[in-house]
């Protein structure tokens, strides 16, 4: 038996207002006059957070468009432009939701690796460390701040650059930064965390490491999203730690049915990760009965609309494309349904599930 030797984020700072320590945190990682590059989620363009970024020397803020989830072409272009402008940089700092953080991880790696980021979509294909990188979440739930992947849509696949070089060197967990997230977005991304917990805790890969983190994250999600309470600052603190713990849980197990199906939607229809998982979770009673019941209660109590009918009118070829992407996520299915998963989740059965969405 080969056990995973998990590579973790090296430094973590947590607390309301800890963003103010960024200058001091980055100082020892500055290499001569090579700049720090801040990839800032476009939501914050012109907002007060942008002017709190501690710029020194040739440092630069690059506003990143996260209307669509990150693409390999976007990563390659950003890295190429930085190489042309500066030669080398001291570090890449991603400030935003999962998309901006994933862009920062991938651009950091591509500052030191040759070719296209598409060449590294897969497991352990990255061979050289990137430049120093830090992640600063402004939405909580994806676990991208702790994971060893950066999810990219490339020319032929939607797959992460999974490697020991991918985790951040530093994360800055300041719950104040998530304060202005719209209720819908906060819910969808928060449910990504809830679904990570259910898929990890109900999966066949479960072990005490994943269980410890998963149970804590689940308890935090229940505390936040159940009980018809108005949103308050403490919830931002809790959800940030739920995201961290949920990410740690899946890091040592795997996600499951909702993610495997949602990847197909996202590949074909561009459905975003959080909402896509919710659309699928809504129909998974057969696999996660208690989790789905509770999920529906959270949806109702928080007055959230989950889209339905998104696969209406798709062609045979389109269904086939989604089925292929989804069935390609073998470890997810194995975690969810066991070694025999192929005899349980047949193409017909999965097709019927997609038709319901
Ligand atoms: P997101 O980063 O795609 O952002 C969603 C929207 O929220 C954007 O319009 C953004 O501008 C806006 N936004 C961000 N912070 C805000 C704030 N504080 N206030 C108001 N608006 C804000 O959303 P997400 O759900 O955090 O991330 C999804 C992405 O993360 C996907 O690209 C997905 O593939 C990726 N992901 C990565 C991992 C990983 O382990 N690397 C895991 C799960 C998901
Ligand atoms: Zn997820």
Range in 80-84, 264-268, 351-355 with the lowest mean pLDDT: 264-268
Measured at the CA of 147, the angle between CA 145 and CA 150, to 5 degrees, comes to 90
How far lies 339's CA from each of 344, 345, 351, 355, in Å? Answer: 10, 11, 21, 26
Closest-lying ligand 1 atom to the alpha carbon of residue 41: 11
- Counting ligands in written order, the one closest to the CA of 149 is 1
Q: How far is the CA of 340 from the centre of ligand 1 (A)?
A: 34
Topology (CATH) of 11-178: Rossmann fold (3.40.50)
Instruction: Kindly give the distance from the C-alpha atom of residue 220 to the centroid of ligand 1, in angstroms, as a whole number.
Output: 20
Is pLDDT of 273 > 90?
yes
Exposed/middle/buried for 153, CB within 10 Å: 0-12, 13-18, 19+? buried
Pocket around ligand 1: residues whose beta carbon is below 6 Å from it?
Answer: 41-43, 66, 69-70, 96-100, 102, 138-139, 142-144, 147, 149-151, 178, 180-182, 185, 189, 192, 272-274
> pLDDT tens, 191-246?
999 999 999 999 999 999 999 999 999 999 999 999 999 999 999 999 999 999 99
* Closest CA to ligand 1's atom 35: 98
For the CA of 142, the closest atom of ligand 1 is 43
Q: pLDDT band at residue 97, thresholds of 50, 70 and 90? A: very high
The mean predicted confidence, pLDDT, of the chain is: 97
With a CB cutoff of 8 Å and minimum separation 6, the contacts of 171 are 9, 11, 12, 13, 134, 135, 136, 137, 145, 146
Given a contact cutoff of 8 angstroms between Cβ atoms, the answer to whether 145 and 107 are in contact is no
Each residue's pLDDT tens digit, 55-92? 999 999 999 999 999 999 999 999 999 999 999 999 99
If phi > 0 it is left, if psi is from -120 to 50 it is alpha, else beta; for residue 124 that is left
The rounded distance, in Å, linking the Cα atoms of 259 and 262 is: 5
Q: Is 183 helix (H, G, I), strand (E, B) or coil?
A: helix
E strand or H helix at 14, and its extent? strand 11-14
Separation of CA 227 and ligand 1 centre (Å)? 26
pTM for the complete prediction? 0.97
Q: What is the mean pLDDT of residues 274-293?
A: 98
Query: Distance between CA 76 and CA 301 in Å, rounded?
Result: 42
Location of structure tokens 């991918």:
166
User: Do β-strands 36-41 and 60-64 pair in parallel, antiparallel, or remain unpaired?
Assistant: parallel
- Distant-in-sequence contacts of 76-79, Cβ < 8 A, 24+ apart: 76/110, 76/116, 76/117, 76/118, 78/39, 78/103, 78/107, 79/107, 79/110, 79/111, 79/117
Compute the distance from residue 51 Cα to the ligand 1 centre, in Å: 21
Give me the phi and psi of 205, to 5 degrees please: -85, 5
Mutate to test the pocket of ligand 1, among 139, 244, 265, 267 (most ligand atoms within 8 A of CB): 139
Question: Which ligand 1 atom is at minimum distance from the Cα of 160?
Answer: 41
Q: What tens digit of pLDDT does each residue of 296-335 get?
A: 999 999 999 999 999 999 999 999 999 999 999 999 999 9
What percentage of the chain has pLDDT greater than the value 90? 97
Q: pLDDT band for 1, please (50, 70, 90 cuts).
A: confident
Q: Are 143 and 196 in contact (CB under 8 A)?
A: yes
Q: Name the percent of the chain lying above pLDDT 70.
A: 100
Look at residue 157 in the predicted model and tell me its pLDDT: 81
Q: How far is CA 186 from CA 104, 121, 189, 224, 244, in A?
A: 21, 28, 5, 11, 15
pLDDT tens figures, 124-160: 999 999 999 999 999 999 999 999 999 999 988 888 9
Q: Architecture of domain 183-356 in CATH?
A: Up-down Bundle (1.20)
Average pLDDT over residues 172-190: 97
Q: Residue 38: beta bridge partners? A: 61, 93
DSSP 8-state secondary structure symbol assigned to residue 6: -
* Domain residue extents for the chain: 11-178, 183-356
């Amino acid at each position: 038996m080969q056990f995973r030797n998990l590579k973790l984020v090296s430094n973590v700072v947590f607390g309301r207002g800890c963003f103010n320590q960024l200058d001091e945190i980055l100082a020892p990682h500055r290499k001569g006059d090579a700049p720090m590059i801040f990839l800032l989620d476009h939501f914050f363009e012109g907002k007060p957070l942008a002017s709190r970024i501690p710029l020194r020397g040739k440092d630069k803020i690059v506003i990143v468009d996260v209307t669509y989830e990150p693409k390999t072409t976007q990563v390659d272009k950003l890295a190429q432009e930085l190489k042309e402008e500066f030669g080398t940089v001291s570090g890449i700092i991603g400030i935003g939701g999962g998309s901006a953080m994933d862009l920062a991880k991938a651009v950091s790696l591509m500052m030191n690796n040759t070719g296209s980021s598409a060449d590294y979509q897969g497991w352990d294909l990255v061979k050289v460390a990137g430049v120093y990188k830090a992640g600063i979440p402004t939405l909580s739930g994806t676990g991208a701040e702790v994971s060893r992947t950066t999810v990219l849509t490339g020319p032929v696949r939607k797959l992460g650059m999974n490697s020991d070089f991918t985790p951040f060197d530093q994360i800055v967990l300041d719950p104040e930064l998530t304060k202005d997230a719209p209720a819908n977005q906060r819910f969808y991304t928060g449910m990504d965390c809830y679904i990570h917990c259910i898929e990890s805790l109900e999966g066949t890969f479960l072990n005490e490491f994943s269980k410890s983190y998963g149970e804590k994250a689940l308890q935090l999600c229940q505390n936040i999203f159940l009980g018809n309470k108005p949103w308050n600052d403490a919830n931002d603190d809790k959800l940030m730690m739920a995201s961290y713990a949920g990410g740690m849980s899946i890091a040592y197990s795997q996600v499951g049915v909702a993610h495997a199906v949602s990847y197909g939607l996202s590949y074909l229809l561009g459905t975003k990760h959080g909402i896509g998982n919710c659309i699928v979770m809504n129909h998974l009673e057969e696999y996660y009965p208690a989790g789905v019941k509770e999920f529906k209660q959270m949806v109702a109590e928080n007055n959230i609309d989950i889209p339905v009918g998104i696969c209406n009118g798709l062609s045979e070829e389109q269904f086939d494309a989604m089925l292929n992407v989804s069935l390609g996520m073998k470890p997810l299915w194995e975690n969810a349904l066991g070694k025999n998963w192929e005899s349980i989740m047949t193409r017909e059965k999965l097709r019927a599930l997609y038709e319901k969405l």
